[in-house]
Amino acid sequence: MKVIQKYRSAIHGIFSDQIIKPTQRFFRKEAASSLLLLATTIIALVWANFPVFESYHHIWHTEIGFTIGQATITKSLIHWINDGLMALFFFTVGLEIKRELLVGDLSTPRKALFPVFAALGGMIVPGIIFALINFNAPSAGGWAIPMATDIAFAMGAIAIFGKKLPMGLRVFLAAFAIADDLGAVLVIALFYTKEIVFSNIAICGILVLMLGIVNFLWIRWTIVYAVLGIMTWIAVLGSGLHPTVAGIIVSMFIPAQGKYDTDLFVQKVKHRLDAFQCAESSCGFSILLNEDHLNAVQNLEHDCHNVETPLQRILHVLHPWVAFLILPVFALGNAGLTFHELNFSEAISHPVTMGIILGLFLGKPIGITLFSYLSVKTKIAALPQGIAWPHIFGASMLGGIGFTMSLFVSGLSFTTPELINYSKFAILVGSLMSAAAGIIFLFAYNSASSERISIIKNERL
C-alpha cells in the first residue's frame, strides 16, 4: 500500500505541476529570469565600454552562415540571435497567448477585454507621444519603441512584494503584457516589413496549411511540428516579413488537447496501480526485480505523456531555455551602449531620447490606466475582484519597463549608430525610471492600506 500511495502522490504531483499550476510556475520563472537579464545587461554595458571595447561589436557582428544545396544563408551573430533565437521567444509568447485565450485570463470576453484594453492604451499613448516629439524627423520610424512591456522585468519588479499584493494584480500584469507582446508582433509584421517576396509568402501559406492539417488529424508528434516550424521560419526569413513572426504563426497550430482526457487518465492510472501487489508489507526496490512493476511504471509514464497537451509540454520544456538563455543572450548582444560615443547633453534633449523616455515613463501609465478606466466605465469590462485602481496605476508604471521588446524594435527602426545609441540610452533610463516609480508607488499604497486596515481592526477592538 505504501508503494501505491507513493505512486499516487507522484501522479498527483505530475498532474498538479503540469496542468493545474502553470500560472504559478510562469510567475516564478519570469521573476527569476529578470535577475539574470539584469546581470547580462550590466555585463553588456561594462563590456561595450571596456578599453578594448571593439571586441564587443566585433564578436556580435561576426558573420556565420551555412549552405544547403544551392541555398546559402549568411548573417552576423547578432542577426542570428535577433532573427533566429528570438523566433523561439515569440513562439513561447504565442503558446502563452493561445493558452490564455483557451483557458486563462483571455478565455472569455469579460476576462479578456480588461487587460486587452489596458494593453491597447499602453501602446497607443506612448506611440502618439513619440510620434508627436519626432514628427517629420528622421527618427520618426521609431514610434513603436516605447509601446512594448518587458514581461520578465515587470514580473521581477512585482515579485519584490511577495504575497503583499493581490494575486489578481500579478495575473493582470502578466495578461496585459502578453496582449502587449501580441500587439508588438502585429506592429512588426505590418509596419516594419520593407519588401514582400510573394513566392515565399505562398510557400508560407502552404506550410501553414500543412500545420493546420496535421493539427486537424490529431497528430501529436512534436518532431512534425518542429520540422514544419523550421521550414516556416526559413520561408518567412526570405519573405520580407520579420522571421520572428513565424514563431507566433507556428505556435497557433500546436495542439492544446492531449490524447487522453482526465477521466481516461485516472482510469488508466488506477489500472496500472493494481499491478503493485506485494506479498510483504513493502515492495522495496521491486522495479529492478519485478517485470510487471517495471511495465506498470513505464505505462504510467506513457499515460502522463498522453494526458499532457503538446502545448503545455512544449511550453514547459522551452520556457526555461527562453527565460534563462535566449533573453539573457539577447540582452548581452543588444544592450551594449557605448558611453564614449554618447554626448549626454545632446542625448538627453534629442527627440528620440525624449520620445522613448516620456513614452515609457508617462505614456504607459497614462494609456494603461485611462483605457482600463474607460473599459470599466463603459461596462465593456470589469475591474478584477480584489484590485483597486491604485493597484492598476502602480502596475501600469511597471508596464513602462520596455527593455527587451523596446531594444528589439529599436534594432528594426534605426540603422545609424547615433540613433541606436540614443534609443538604447533612452530605453535604459525610461525602464529604470518606470521600475523605480512603480515599486515606490505600490510600496507606499500597500503600506498605507495595511495601516488603514490595522487602524480599523484596533477601533473594532
Phi-psi region of 297 (alpha: psi -120 to 50; beta: other; left: phi over 0): alpha
Nearest-10 Cα torsion for 281, 285, 291, 297: 90
The Cβ of residue 449 has, within 10 Å, a number of other Cβ atoms equal to: 14
Specify whether the CB–CB gap between 118 and 370 falls below 8 A.
no
Q: Residue 244, by phi and psi: left (phi above 0), alpha (psi -120 to 50) or beta?
A: alpha
Considering only CA atoms, give the Rg of the chain: 25
Is residue 346 pLDDT above 90, yes or no?
no
Give the tens place of pLDDT for each residue, 425-452.
999 999 999 999 999 999 998 888 766 6
Cα–Cα distance measured from residue 41 to residue 380, given in angstroms and rounded to the nearest whole number = 40
Residue 331's nearest CA partner among 233, 405, 422 is 405
In angstroms, the CA 252 to CA 236 distance is 16
Q: Which range, 36-40, 73-77, 139-143, is most confident?
A: 139-143
Mean pLDDT of all residues in 205-221: 91
The answer, yes or no, to whether residue 128 has pLDDT greater than 60, is yes
Using DSSP's 3-state secondary structure scheme, residue 97 falls into helix
C-alpha to C-alpha distance for 8 and 319, rounded to whole angstroms: 27
Q: Please tell me the chain's helix, strand, coil percentages from 3-state DSSP, rounded to the nearest 5.
A: 75, 5, 25
pLDDT the model gives residue 361: 96
Phi, psi at 219, each rounded to 5°: -75, 125
pLDDT tens for residues 230-275? 999 988 888 877 787 888 889 999 998 888 888 888 888 888 887 7
The helices-and-strands tally (H runs, E runs) of the chain is 21, 2
- Phi, psi at 74, each rounded to 5°: -130, 125
pLDDT at 287: 76
Average pLDDT, the chain: 83
At residue 184, does pLDDT exceed 50? yes
What is Dmax (Cα atoms) for the chain?
Answer: 85
pLDDT for the residue 20 = 44
Is 69 in a helix, a strand, or coil? coil
* Confidence check: pLDDT of 455 > 70: no
CA 246 to chain CA mean position, Å: 15
What is d(CA 122, CA 395) in angstroms, rounded to the nearest whole number?
11
CB atoms within 10 A of CB 178: 26
- Domains by residue range for the chain, with CATH: 26-77+107-192+327-460 (1.20.1530.10)
Answering whether pTM is above 0.85, one says: no
Residue type, 221: W
